[in-house]
Amino acid sequence: MATTTTTITEKLASTTLDSADLSKCNYKNLEPYVHPPETKEKLNWAELVTLDLEDYDREGGKERLAKQLEHAVQHVGFFYVKNYGLSQEEVDNQFTLAKHFFKLPVEEKEKFECNYAAADYNGWRRSGRRVENNKAGYKGFDNVEIYNIPKFTKDFEGKYGQPDLLQAHLPEIEHFSKTLHKNVVLPLLRLFAIILELPDEDYLVKQHTYDKKSEDHFRYMIYKKRTAEEWAASGGGLGNGHTDLGTVTLLFRQPIAGLQILGDDGNWTWVSAQPGTITVNLADTISHLTGGWLKSSVHRVVTPPEDQWAYDRTGLLYFARPHNETVLNPLDSPVLRRAGAKSRFEKPVTVEEWVKAKQTLQLNPDIAAKRWAEAGDGTVEVLAGFRDRKYKE
Ligand SMILES: [Fe+2]
């Protein structure tokens, strides 16, 4: 039933399901995803606060949570949330879909491949596009596959096809994404507004409403297991420190250790997988909206401990971003005024321009290599005078 062409119409036609296709995608026909065991190695774990979102609607809850978060959002950029209104079964089902999506044949996945040249990250990103170098000069390629699903709004309706596996479960994926937005992203934005003493507690929420056009997306991701030689050739991810480009990133529990964050003290620590939580990190646009006062945290994914080398690392993430039209100047906040926060750009920059500039670098390794080489000082101009840089290994 599927075609091998890539036009949108044909992609959509290829996702029309008959009843036989539907049943093959039922969970009873899909081997459930099971998390790999945790490492037994003693690692230098980061100490992160956990927000209990159940407290949010209680009397004084928002203020308590804002207080709890204040230090983390300025100095750490990472924290956990729990009680976010999705059951463990719903979370497990999404991991099962991720597992089976990545097991599809390449010929099936490539029907939904990203349009890299257009900096459009929705769809499937194949592994091996990014060259990784280690210090000894060995060259390896990344082993990461990604599948991004945009917001379920009229702006994206009919724009991207889905493989049968996901088409059959699209209403659940929609519910899952929207619940994360409503139960996690929006409450966090109110807590940020309280911390920033914004007169309107909903100011940031109004820049992040679900129905208006923005580049939020839901992601399945896999770091495929590697041999010792492949790990050596890759440089172990030590040089991959980066910040995320949006408002916040939500990351579901993943027991394969690999995620590290760069602390204010210049040291890397490991992020552990706390049961029942989502790991949240602050990213660039919220940092831009506060002139850098809120911390877009630097992180990387490195070689897991050896006792986990036999496993793939499957990820489930949600990326929140402001509306495309939002201008990334510092908000009118008493806290930011006291701190003397200034715009990080030489001219007004919208989220849409920011996303396009960052994604052009992220999706096109050739362009990125050339642009990083231009300055020759370990930095690259993303746009309007704002520079990204390489972080400490
Ligand atoms: Fe990241």
pLDDT digits (tens, 9 = 90+) for 34-68: 999 999 999 999 999 999 999 999 999 999 999 99
Determine how many CB atoms are found less than 10 A away from the CB of residue 143.
19
Q: Dump strand ranges (E) for the chain.
A: 50-52, 78-82, 123-125, 131-133, 139-141, 144-150, 217-223, 248-252, 259-262, 268-270, 277-282, 299-301, 313-320, 379-383, 386-389
In this structure, the number of other CB atoms found within 10 A of the CB of residue 129 comes to: 15
For range 222-230, the mean pLDDT? 90
CA gap 42, 294 in Å, rounded: 31
- Distance between Cα 298 and ligand 1 center (Å): 8
Evaluate the CA torsion angle 283, 288, 292, 293 in order and state its sign.
negative
Task: Please state the separation of Cα 258 from the chain's center in Å.
Answer: 15
* Region at 366 (left for phi over 0; alpha for psi -120 to 50; beta for the rest): alpha
Q: How far is the CA of 241 from the centre of ligand 1 (A)?
A: 8
Inform me whether the pLDDT recorded for 17 exceeds 80. no
Q: Give 120-172 pLDDT, tens digit per residue.
A: 999 999 998 877 766 666 677 789 999 999 999 999 999 999 999 999 999 99
Does the pLDDT at position 236 exceed 90? no
CA of 85 to the centre of ligand 1 (A): 24
Gap from CA of 242 to ligand 1 centroid (Å) = 6
Residue type, 76: V
Looking only at the bridges linking them, the beta strands covering 277-282 and 248-252 are: antiparallel
Give residue 111 CA to ligand 1 midpoint distance, Å.
26
**What pLDDT is stored for residue 132 in this prediction?**
74
DSSP structure string for 15-34: TPPPHHHHHHTSGGGSPPP-
Q: Give the Å distance between the CA of 314 and the centre of ligand 1.
A: 14
Q: Express each pLDDT in 244-297 by its tens digit.
A: 999 999 999 999 999 999 999 999 999 998 999 999 999 999 999 999 999 999
Residues 193 and 205: their CA atoms lie apart, in Å, by: 9
Residue 84's SS3 state is coil
Split at pLDDT 50, 70, 90, the class of 376 is confident
Q: Compute the distance from residue 362 Cα to the ligand 1 centre, in Å.
A: 11
* Helix/strand number for the chain, H first, E second: 14, 15
Which pLDDT band, with edges at 50, 70 and 90, does 1 fall under?
very low
Q: Tell me what the pLDDT averaged over the chain comes to.
A: 91
CA distances (Å), 265 to each of 68, 136, 392, in order? 21, 28, 12
Cα 41 to ligand 1 centroid, rounded to whole Å = 24
For the question of whether the overall pTM of this predicted structure is more than 0.85, the answer is yes
What is the per-residue pLDDT across 172-197, written as a single tens digit (0 to 9) for each? 999 999 999 999 999 999 999 999 99
pLDDT band at 345; cut points 50, 70, 90:
very high
Out of 18-27, 69-78, 118-127, 238-247, least confident range: 18-27
Q: Separation of 330 CA from ligand 1 center, angstroms? A: 23
- Lowest mean per-residue pLDDT among 28-37, 76-85, 369-378: 369-378
| Arch. (CATH architecture) of 4-16+55-346 | Sandwich (2.60)
- Are the C-beta atoms of residues 256 and 316 closer than 8 Å to each other? no
Distances (CA, A) of 300 to 55, 149, 355, 356, 391: 31, 23, 20, 22, 10
pLDDT at position 364 is 85
Given pLDDT bands bounded at 50, 70 and 90, which one contains residue 21? low
Using the mean position of ligand 1's atoms as its centre, give its distance from the Cα of residue 16 in Å: 34
3-state secondary structure of 350: strand
* Partners of 279 in beta bridges: 80, 251
Cα-to-centroid distance, 244 and ligand 1 (Å): 5
